[in-house]
Amino acid sequence: MRPIVVVGSGPSGVHFARTLLDAGRRVKLIDVGYRRPQPVLPGRRLDQLKEDLPDPISYFLGSDFDGITFPGNEGEYYGVPPGKSFVFDEPVGFAFRERGFAPLFSFAQGGLAEAWTGGVYPFNEAELTDFPFSFADIEPAYAEVARRIGVSGEIDDLSRFMPPHDHIMGPLELDRHSRVLLDRYARVRRRLNEGLGCWIGRSRLATLSRPHQGRGACTYLGRCLWGCPIDALYTPSSTLRECLENPDFEYVPDVYVTHFDYDARRRITAVNGRTGGGSPVRIETDVLALAAGALNTARIFLESIFRETGEILRLPGLMDNQQVLVPFVNLDMIGIPFDPSSYQYHQLGLGLSVDDPRHYVHGQITTLKTTMVHPILQNLPLDLRASRSAFRRIRSALGLVNVNFHDTRRPTNVVTLAPRAGRESELVVEYEPAAGERLHIDGAIRRVRAALLKLHCIAPRSMMHVRPKGASVHYSGLLPMTNGGGTCTAGPDGRSRDFDNLFFADGATFPFLPAKNITFTLMANAVRMARLTFS
């Protein structure tokens, strides 16, 4: 029997492949696979690189100065540093158009999770109501992924929203600002819990607090955003390296998959694509698993049917988390010296309870540490000298809450194709917000600002930023798992109901999107599905 072919090396793809290998199956993983640059001076802190690198300007600002944020920029508060641009590189010929949605695509080795912030948030029983399985069904897979990747954290107040699982190691060391916030929360906890329905606790992170599986523990270099140089922060490329050590695994990079072939019995016979140089590639297979990310998995599925039948399908139900950024100043931290030896990403989380537990609101609290400071300085209403002086006094007091909201499948949110003569079709993405979404968001933000005030933090409403839909890259819902039948759906094991040797191994199958980073559940669900059929 031929190897099982997996398309995509993101979090779903590598853990689906790893589980197949553990079950004694042969696997061939096809990938475009743009690779990250080798880390520079891996033992240095981010602030030390300015002095120690031979060309720090290119590292921090890019060879074409694309890392500069210019005055008056009304876009995102933070961007992708030049060294991570590979995550968003696109192959020649790939094209899309959008309405009401700002999608991001990745063809990198490891996918979009090469640029994630490491938040590990299992879905609870309420959030799995629309899924064709329970928390008890996926809990062993959560534990297995935690064992593989290393998860740090604590069982605390946020556990009411994030159920515990096995293999949680101790937490990272808190930076001083996060410790001040957590200590203040302990003093006003009852008022926040009972008055605002707000709970605060430690984030669970895919970052090692102790050595694990050949990777070293976090050494607090402040380089998380730029790419952890010692792999303490997990990325899927680590699991890909583990797969490469297995003789039953074959990795085929530099292939952009366009479509699959299928026969009269609607069984897939081969995968088609092209190399970066334009040479055609055709790989025969008996079993195909698409794990290219929800949008690219949908593209391959739609293009395959169009080429065979001429029919252009419309896949409804696209979901993504709305995110709102709430900057704040902690009055208890003003004048405290800045410490560059710290973990750069969020270490605390905030949860808001609501009447329907599926609609829980999740916030990630990031205190400002090592960062590019020019976007902040240039937006202060002072001259450069005064701005630098003011910033030094308030730097350690600055923070940001990234507030996440749930999403549901709706027929107005569609992914389809627009054919192009002589070329692959263009992907079309359309999205409309849910009715009443604005009221839900406004109410939650009022509660977040009120909670911050009780923590001695001021959150100016004028500085809040509603991120464009699509910015969270938690795409899902296009080929949903169901217990019933129906075309363009999948069974509980991820098997397509249109092609019986096709599996969807990524977020395209999620029928509901909680207000959480989905990467941990993507990995766990891939493990769960692979075990159901192939173990």
Asked whether the beta carbons of 522 and 293 are under 8 A apart, the reply is: no
Cβ within 8 Å of residue 94, ≥6 positions away: 105, 107, 256, 424
pLDDT-wise least confident of 47-61, 114-128, 233-247, 504-518: 47-61
CA distance 9 to 238: 11
pLDDT tens digits, one per residue of 24-42: 999 999 999 999 999 999 9
- Identify the helix (H) or strand (E) that includes residue 308: helix 294-309
pLDDT over 90 at 69, yes or no: no
User: pLDDT grade, residue 70 (50/70/90)?
Assistant: low
Percentage above 90 pLDDT, the chain: 86
Query: CA distances (Å), 465 to each of 291, 327, 403, 462, in order?
Result: 32, 9, 10, 8
pLDDT-wise least confident of 100-114, 258-272, 386-400: 386-400
pLDDT over 90 at 419, yes or no: yes
> Averaged over 140-156, what is the pLDDT?
98
For the chain, domain boundaries: 50-88+155-232+323-404+434-468
> Averaged over 270-292, what is the pLDDT?
97
146: closest CA among 532, 421, 521? Answer: 521
Residue 382, number of CB atoms within 10 A of its CB? 12
- Mean pLDDT, all residues of the chain: 94
pLDDT over 90 at 253, yes or no: yes
Q: How high is the pLDDT of residue 519?
A: 98
Using left for φ > 0, alpha for ψ between -120 and 50, and beta otherwise, residue 213 falls in left
pLDDT tens digits, one per residue of 362-409: 999 999 988 777 667 676 777 778 878 888 899 999 999 999 999 999
> Where do the H-state alpha helices sit in 400-504?
437-454
The burial class, CB within 10 Å (0-12 / 13-18 / 19+), for 120 is buried
Q: How high is the pLDDT of residue 175?
A: 96
Q: How far is CA 442 from the centre of its chain?
A: 24
Q: How high is the pLDDT of residue 139?
A: 98
